[in-house]
Chains A and B, each alone.
Chain A
């Protein structure tokens, strides 16, 4: 069955969306006046511990921040340290010295890099425990950081596959994934989790500097030779370049109705057969999960346990191309009530 209504001519729409939305790092900064209103802290109360939220003041971080403040505000003084584009390690050092927080919440890639830089500048200094959120591949990034835990930003394949099962009538048992060689350990960990749900993740590695041919051949292998039930796309910008989308992904998927699970909502577009379902972290719930980590630290006198572990995000958002699902895979009767955003 050919997906004739979905043509390559619509690909620029997807690329436009991708250029705005494919990065894991939030970008749209809230205008100063609005930001001041949206991220305003309550006055500090004496005798309470302080939790500092080190965050860019952006629309993408607003839901997370709101949940953190709501959950933590009853017990702690919550102080927001805006990490604007000009903020660096000196600014952060000044703020930490001023606030003397018992714990910090580090939000986004850039803030994490500044925090890491500050720790490197002060190798013998004591830092409060940190909860790191909204950063890429945290399991790797957290390695060199002292006194830190956090929540990964990437939605595990198993959560995405369960989400696909919830909306489509397909029997999903084998899911293909193309990944760069350097992500082999990430994909292996995902395969273990997926196996619990009786799903076999079928990986195909491409070089770390992949050519369009390598990606296209790998996709062909998964879709044609392996006949997988669905594809899961790793959030790896190097595999989702405009060139690879146009020359590798879209040509392979154009005539093959196979569900494609992506991690960026901009990749689900009704005019382009690429993302069938986007599964992304729910930022408000990510804030609740991060707040629970802070409470756990407080219960442990602000000490991290010896076994430092990065949690996985528990709650996801789903954006679904319902027409694609309905036309080719069968939409479950109650699906519309369960998905967060229907793309038609």
Chain B
């Protein structure tokens, strides 16, 4: 979608090229409108749920009739797949922004567009200041190069050694195996891990919140095909993504 981002409606084309581009854009628009009438719009989703990715995909698709949903669990796969130019892409806002995309539809939980993150540890609560020189488990949502800055922002400056996993479920074994001093995750995922485990899991709320899922569209046609469906998808769809409404 990095390439697609350039196709999003932005005033980036130099003025001198605009007239030359106009004809091409008009022709492409005509073609895509023609195709759009018969092609099922695709929504690529980079998110984790407490179930298999295939089951998650089916669940989302059931709530979005007429949309071809594909779920990705690894950022590299998602980033590569965006080269297919799907009509829409859904991921946590920081993910989309890190990929150079500008979200057009934002998920909200109540009136908030962000969610609280916590540090979770075994037996004793851990504060960000205590993590220096220790290992912190984290889901790799941005790719390793971008993650240090992201985690530093969430922790408010501390920079522990990061241990990456691809799913929130994998954070629990890190604590079980004593492979990390703590893990960082959303408050909602912390609740789910508590339900799975009999360990004495302690949490420390963090001050800096993280953006909830948002959506980018590859074109006006993509937006017209998906925007209304996502807004009206219903509670099961929203629950699985941790939001209550889209706007």
Partners in one complex: yes
Q: Is the CB of A70 within 8 A of B173?
A: no
Q: A70-B76, A340-B52 are in contact. Are A315 and B196 (CB under 8 A)?
A: no
User: Is B199 at the interface (CB under 8 A from chain A)?
Assistant: yes
Chain B 167-202 interface 0/1 with A at a Cβ cutoff of 8 Å (1 = within): 101101110110100000000000000001111000
User: Is B224 at the interface (CB under 8 A from chain A)?
Assistant: no
User: Is A113 at the interface (CB under 8 A from chain B)?
Assistant: no
Q: Is the CB of B51 within 8 A of A196?
A: no
> Distance in Å from the Cβ of A192 to the closest Cβ of chain B?
10
Complex-state Cα separation, A288 to B173, whole angstroms:
15
User: Is B74 at the interface (CB under 8 A from chain A)?
Assistant: yes
Chain B residues with CB under 8 A of A162: 172, 196-197
Closest to A162 in B: B196
Q: Is the CB of A196 within 8 A of B199?
A: yes
Q: Is the CB of A285 within 8 A of B197?
A: no
> Distance in Å from the Cβ of B213 to the closest Cβ of chain A?
20
**Which one, B56, B164, B169, B197, contacts A197 given CB within 8 A?**
B197
Q: Is the CB of B50 within 8 A of A314?
A: no
User: Is B144 at the interface (CB under 8 A from chain A)?
Assistant: yes
- Prevailing SS type, chain A contact patch: helix
User: Is A259 at the interface (CB under 8 A from chain B)?
Assistant: no
What range describes how many residues of A lie at the interface?
Answer: 20 to 34
Q: A165-B196, A314-B165, A315-B170 are in contact. Are A193 and B51 (CB under 8 A)?
A: no
In B97-145, which residues have CB < 8 Å from any A CB?
122, 144
In A281-299, which residues have CB < 8 Å from any B CB?
285, 288, 292, 295
Closest to B198 in A: A198
Chain A 188-208 interface 0/1 with B at a Cβ cutoff of 8 Å (1 = within): 000001001111000000000
Complex-state Cα separation, A338 to B164, whole angstroms:
22
In A107-142, which residues have CB < 8 Å from any B CB?
none
Chain B residues with CB under 8 A of A193: 176-177
Q: Is the CB of B196 within 8 A of A338?
A: no
Chain B 73-113 interface 0/1 with A at a Cβ cutoff of 8 Å (1 = within): 01011000000000000000000000000000000000000
Closest to B143 in A: A74
Among A162, A198, A340, chain B packs the most CB atoms within 10 A around the CB of A162
Q: Is the CB of B196 within 8 A of A156?
A: no
Q: Is the CB of B199 within 8 A of A71?
A: no
Chain B residues with CB under 8 A of A198: 198-199
Complex-state Cα separation, A334 to B77, whole angstroms:
27
Chain B 191-231 interface 0/1 with A at a Cβ cutoff of 8 Å (1 = within): 00000111100000000000000000000000000000000
Q: A162-B196, A166-B196, A338-B50 are in contact. Are A285 and B166 (CB under 8 A)?
A: yes
> Distance in Å from the Cβ of A294 to the closest Cβ of chain B?
11
> Distance in Å from the Cβ of B46 to the closest Cβ of chain A?
15
Q: Is the CB of B179 within 8 A of A334?
A: no
Q: Is the CB of A337 within 8 A of B52?
A: yes
Closest to A74 in B: B76
Q: Is the CB of B176 within 8 A of A292?
A: no
Complex-state Cα separation, A295 to B148, whole angstroms:
14
Write the residues of chain A forming the contact surface with B, with a CB cutoff of 8 angstroms.
Answer: 70-71, 74, 156, 158-159, 162, 165-166, 193, 196-199, 285, 288, 292, 295, 311-312, 314-315, 334, 336-340
Beyond the given pairs A193-B177, A196-B122, A314-B173, 11 more chain A to chain B contacts, judged by CB atoms under 8 angstroms and listed by A's residue number, are A74-B76, A158-B176, A166-B196, A197-B198, A314-B165, A315-B165, A315-B169, A334-B51, A337-B52, A337-B55, A340-B52
